Every structure is written in C-alpha cells, then in structure tokens.
Amino acid sequence: MKILKGAEVSAKIKEQVTQMMEGLEGPAPKLAIVRVGEKPDDMSYERGAVKKMENFGLRVQTYVFPEQISDSDFKAEFSAINRDPDVSGILLLRPLPKQIAETDIEKMIDPEKDLDGISPANIAKVFAGDKTGFAPCTAEAVIEVLKANEIDITGKNVTIVGRSMVVGRPLSMLMLKENATVTICHTRTRDLETECRRAEILVAAAGKAKMLDGRHVGQDAIVIDVGINVDENGKLCGDVDFPSIEPLASMATPVPGGVGAVTTAVLAKHLVLAGRRQRGN
C-alpha cells in the first residue's frame, strides 16, 4: 500500500504559492487568525497555520478573545478586523462559544477575505461550481492530495462518509466538478459497510476515531482520512483504523501527516489569491 504523505503535497503547493507571489508589489499578504477561548484543538491548528504561513513567506497575526466575550463585543472586534485593509484574509476558528451568534459572523465576513469558505456567498459559489469562491480548506485539500499523486478522479465512484458543511457537503461538490460519481454516507445510512466497499475512492470525514476499518474498504480502494481524533491512548488518530485497511487499500493518507498538513498549505494558497485580487492582480 502506498502512503500518501501530506508533506509532499504541501511542498508542491508551496511552489505554486511562490510563483503566485512573483510580481506582487508591497508587503506579503496577511492572514488574521481569530480565536475565542483556549480550546486545545483550536490552539493546535493555530500553531500549525502560523508555522505554515511563516514558512511560505506570508504574514500572519493572531487575534485571541476570552471565552466569555459577549456577542456584541465580539462582533465589534470582528468587524474591525474584517475592515482592516492590511488584512488580506481571515481564518475564524470554530465553533464559537454559544453566546455568539455564529451565523451572524458567517454573514458578516467579507467573502473576499473568507479563506475557509464559511460565508453564504462562497458556499453558493462552491455549490454552483464557480472557481472564484473559496472552498473550505480541508475539502479542497482532499482534491489537492489526489491530484498531486496523479490520481484521476473522472468517472470514479467516490464515497464520502460525513455530511458537514466543513468537509462532506462541499467536498461532494468539488468531486462532482471533477466528474466523479459521488455517494454521501452518514449516521443514518443503511448498511454503511456495503456502501463504502463500493468506493474506488473512500473519504472518511465523520469525526469519529477509527470508525471505518477493513470491513468498509474494497480491494485496491484509495482511502483519504480527514479525521483528527485522539484515541484511547491519547494519541492522534483518524477516522480509519489504519492497520486493518493495509491489506486492502492501494493507497491511503496517514493521520497525522496526511490531509491536515495539506489543509494549511491550501489556506496559504487562498491567502495569496485573496491578496492578488485585492491588489487588482
């Protein structure tokens, strides 16, 4: 089984970003990372994103607010970041605390700065197949992994386990754009094992540790594991029980070191795209 490592894909995206930066006058595009509270998952992703931006030669600033911040105060702070002409793109770490109306923030964010595809305008563009819209970075990272490894998506039976607006649903639209035949599975899918075994490309995006195993994987399938979980031993793991699929899958992404490493590279690519558009390039 070939292991599809994210670092190799990230390096290819870095080359693209370097080319995109050529001829871009003024300071490098700047990313604003907005975090509310001290959730370990958010802080871990933030550290990875900061490191990636700096590695790609891009500017980044974090804006951290207390967990108890009121809805009105957060909206005022977010609005100021949103309007800042020095900020080329925004990454909002979600979910937000319950007292903040998250849907209001999604409507507030400038679509041109919305790098992770949370605004209604960008979501609509993704579902319409409009390339000018920013898709959620993780969903796009899955496509990047397949393309970087020269895996032809056209005509393939693709099964996605998970229907969130972060990965499952937008990814299904990106797969359709690549002319795949797409099946979306979820918690109420009947006979999940059979549905998954039909897949030539199986994407695990349910957010449940080791939910899928060898019983769900057809012979020579390509398995893309989007999940980031912590197992019973406190170690990072995906939605796939990796050892059990090794005799079956032809290719698979590891966790850690797979799709997650590509997600922040896609974020960097989106940031440069946003910066170029805002400067008229």
d(Cα 183, Cα 157) in Å, to the nearest integer?
Answer: 8
Mean pLDDT of 141-170: 97
Q: Are residues 142 and 87 in the same domain?
A: no
Taking each helix axis from N to C end, the angle separating 6-21 and 259-278, rounded to the nearest 10 degrees, works out to 10
Q: 162 and 227 in contact (C-beta within 8 Å)?
A: no
Q: 209 and 235 in contact (C-beta within 8 Å)?
A: no
162 is in an annotated binding site: yes
Pairing, β 157-161 against β 229-230: unpaired
In a domain, 87, yes or no: yes
Characterize 34-66 residue by residue with b for buried, 16 or more Cβ atoms within 10 angstroms of its Cβ, and e for exposed: bbbeeeeebeebbeebbebbeebebbbebbebe
Q: Please give the pLDDT value at position 188.
A: 93
d(Cα 16, Cα 205) in Å, to the nearest integer?
Answer: 27
Q: Are residues 195 and 254 in the same domain?
A: yes
Q: Are residues 66 and 144 in the same domain?
A: no
Q: What is the pLDDT of residues 174-233, one digit of tens each?
A: 999 999 999 999 989 999 999 999 999 999 999 999 999 999 999 999 999 999 988 888
In a domain, 130, yes or no: no
Mean pLDDT of 9-29: 95
Mean pLDDT of 104-116: 98
Q: Are residues 56 and 102 in the same domain?
A: yes
Is the pLDDT assigned to residue 23 strictly greater than 90? no
Q: Please, which pLDDT band fits residue 90 given cuts at 50, 70 and 90?
A: very high
3-state helix, strand, coil in the chain (%, to 5): 40, 15, 40
- Domain limits at 106? 23-111
- Residue-averaged pLDDT of the chain: 96
Q: Which helix (H) or strand (E) covers residue 31, if one does?
A: strand 30-36
Q: 1 and 250 in contact (C-beta within 8 Å)?
A: yes
Q: Are residues 254 and 140 in the same domain?
A: yes
Q: Please, which pLDDT band fits residue 158 given cuts at 50, 70 and 90?
A: very high
Q: Are residues 150 and 52 in the same domain?
A: no
Q: What is the pTM assigned to this prediction? A: 0.96
Domains contained in the chain, number? 2
In a domain, 3, yes or no: no
d(Cα 164, Cα 228) in Å, to the nearest integer?
Answer: 15
164 is in an annotated binding site: yes
Q: Please, which pLDDT band fits residue 234 given cuts at 50, 70 and 90?
A: confident
Q: Please give the pLDDT value at position 201.
A: 98
CATH number at residue 101: 3.40.50.10860
Please identify which residue in the block is written with the tokens 């605390």.
97
Q: Please give the pLDDT value at position 233.
A: 83
Burial class (CB in 10 A: 0-12, 13-18, 19+), 224: buried
Q: Please, which pLDDT band fits residue 277 given cuts at 50, 70 and 90?
A: very high
